[in-house]
A and B are shown apart, each in its own frame.
Chain A
Amino acid sequence: MRLFLIGLLGMGYLIPGAASADPANSHIRTLAASCAACHGYEGKSRGEIPSLAGMSAEYFLDKMRQYRDMQDDGSVMNQHAKGLEWEEIAGLAGYFACTAPEAAACREYRQQAGTQ
């Protein structure tokens, strides 16, 4: 997990709102925006589908690993998780943890990613 986060930091995934238009970042930003159809604009849900904004990266990665590894149970997240590359899931974890850079989830994420 920690090594993984360090990798993400290196790839520049930490600051989702930044105006960088490089392809790797815009790939994750666009993918994250695609989650909005169900999970709400900027990851903030207006219904019973959970919000992703400010979700702890560790929790996000755990859940997505479960969805990806489980047998097909006909759930939406099972079906989406299996279609994503792990690098993309990791990018999304960092993106949503840091939708509010001052939030606890983002501080924790930066701390874990920045210290060994």
Chain B
Amino acid sequence: MKRRSFNKLALAGLLLPASLRSFASSAGAPRVVVVGAGFAGATVAKYLRVWSQGGIEVILIEPGKSFVSCPASNLVLGGSRQMQEISHSYDQLVQRHGVQMRQASVAGIDAHKRSITLDDGSRIAYDKLVLAPGISFDYSHLNALAGTDLQQRFLHAWKAGQQTAALRQQLQAMPDGGVFAITVPALPYRCPPGPYERACQAAYYLQRHKPRSKVLVLDANPAITSKRALFEKAWSELYPGLVEYHASSELKGIDPGKGTLETTFERVKFDVLNLIPPQTAGRLALDNGFGNADGRWCDVDYVTYESPQARHVHILGDALDSGLPKSAHIATSEAKVCASAIIALLAGEEPDPAPVFANTCYSYVSADEAMHVANVYRFDGKSREMKPAPGGGVSQARSASEAREARSWAANIWHDVLG
């Protein structure tokens, strides 16, 4: 932000006494309904309550019983962390912050009447609706996987939970000398460095238990999409001969009977296939008409996160086509900007016109070494886009101290979102 505009804002702030905070609602406290309790949804719910000092009623709708973290879930595959360590309760959101949780799915959204319908038929009216639907998987290019049986057999484990544990079991059941294949979709997808971290974690396990085996990374992208030099170094130094990487190798077909798959260039035999499919915004957003022109992701106004398709409907997190990495920290950062904007809008005030976002993302290359990427991003009012601020970058080298920082990051972000 330019110094002058910043000072102008600061001065404008002096003219607005804090006591003027009031929410113009004739029917008591305004109500915000949040759908989806991942990093983005849980954060916006909590911070709406905290920053409005309880002045906004928040209803959080989530089908899952508990929160399972994607960050650190690859460590479950490698064996150095357990499922219960990455699983967390929503209880504090309810007990400490007064968020009302409904364990349910959304059946329909009526943006005109400002109400949603749940799968049990009940309707909930809202003043503002926040959708944090995460991602959905797009298997449409793979005819062989049309049946859910095969989708269950070739796991994505790209939403942490039951599939995380199941992929670990498949890795454990693989014979020594087997091939653990990971297919990486073209960008954009959730967590750019995630597939390469997963390759490290699979290799970490195999090196100790099945050293004649191989991890085969088949990447639809022309090169490793994040922390490239660091991953290449880790593979060659920590897991020589164990990790094989093929660029520009988009998955084209699977023969489940023979246990082979086809990419752009070759046919490959595998023992376990971890198929990370191409992704879209969560179907909830797309099916209700909030998709952008190509129908895969969602656009919003990055000052308020309101959808251009419907007033009072805000969208957050990995579902957005923001150009920013789809990471947990970005999701929480967006959620806080959105919470702040909604509070301002409900009070009839202007939201911050130039919000700033941060991303810090660690990848573990083993049980005890990690590396990071860090960036600040700014909303640019002229282009209406997010722009990276100067100075961002990656670690110079993987290290044990960064692994300790990564553990601290995880404990802190989990508590920030849920505690």
Contacts and interface: CB of A to CB of B under 8 A. Distances in A.
Nearest to B356: A31
Interface residues of A, number: 44
A84 B343 CA distance: 24
Interface string B285-311: 000000000000000000000000000
Contacts of B405: 38, 47-49, 76
Nearest to B348: A21
B393 A74 contact: yes
Interface stretch (A12-20, A56-64, A101-109): A12-20
Contact of B415 (A10, A18, A25, A46): A46
A32 B185 CA distance: 34
Contacts of A10: 10, 14
Nearest to B337: A30
Contacts of B82: none
A40 B47 CA distance: 14
B349 A37 contact: no
Given A12-B10, A37-B332, A37-B358, A72 B393 contact: yes
Contact of A47 (B337, B388, B411, B419): B411
Interface in A3-52: 10-12, 18-27, 29-31, 33-41, 45-49
A82 interface: yes
B357 A34 contact: yes
A22 B349 contact: yes
B87 to A, nearest CB: 17
A66 interface: no
B390 interface: yes
B336 A33 contact: yes
Given A24-B6, A74-B393, A83-B392, A41 B352 contact: no
Given A12-B14, A20-B16, A34 B352 contact: no
Contacts of B1: 27, 85, 87-88
A85 B6 contact: yes
Interface in B344-382: 344, 347, 349-358, 360, 372, 374-378
Contacts of A72: 391, 393
B154 interface: no
Given A11-B13, A74-B393, A29 B51 contact: yes
A49 B408 contact: yes
A22 B10 CA distance: 8
B340 A29 contact: yes
B92 to A, nearest CB: 10
Contacts of B396: 73-74
A74 B394 contact: yes
Nearest to B391: A82
Given A30-B336, A83-B376, A37 B392 contact: no
A111 interface: no
Given A34-B333, A74-B396, A23 B353 contact: yes
Contacts of B150: none
A20 B412 contact: no
Contacts of B355: 27, 30
A23 B372 CA distance: 32
B337 A22 contact: no
B85 interface: no
Interface in A64-100: 72-74, 76, 78-85, 87-88
Contact of B18 (A20, A27, A87): A20
Given A24-B9, A26-B352, A47 B412 contact: yes
Contacts of A22: 9, 12-14, 16, 349
B151 interface: no
- Of B1, B358, B397, chain A has the most CB atoms within 10 Å of the CB of B358
Contact of A41 (B340, B350, B397, B416): B416
Interface string B6-28: 11011011101110010000000
- Of B12, B51, B337, B416, chain A has the most CB atoms within 10 Å of the CB of B416
Interface string B51-65: 101000000000000
8 contacts: A22-B14, A27-B355, A37-B333, A38-B413, A41-B412, A41-B416, A46-B412, A47-B412
Interface of A: 10-12, 18-27, 29-31, 33-41, 45-49, 72-74, 76, 78-85, 87-88
Give me the 9 closest cross-chain CB pairs, A-B, nearest first.
A82-B391, A47-B408, A83-B376, A22-B13, A83-B389, A74-B396, A20-B18, A11-B10, A79-B374
Given A26-B344, A37-B329, A76-B374, 7 more contacts: A11-B10, A11-B14, A22-B13, A37-B416, A38-B405, A40-B412, A48-B405
Interface of B: 1, 3, 6-7, 9-10, 12-14, 16-18, 21, 47, 51, 53, 328-329, 332-333, 336-337, 340, 343-344, 347, 349-358, 360, 372, 374-378, 388-397, 404-405, 407-409, 411-413, 415-416, 419
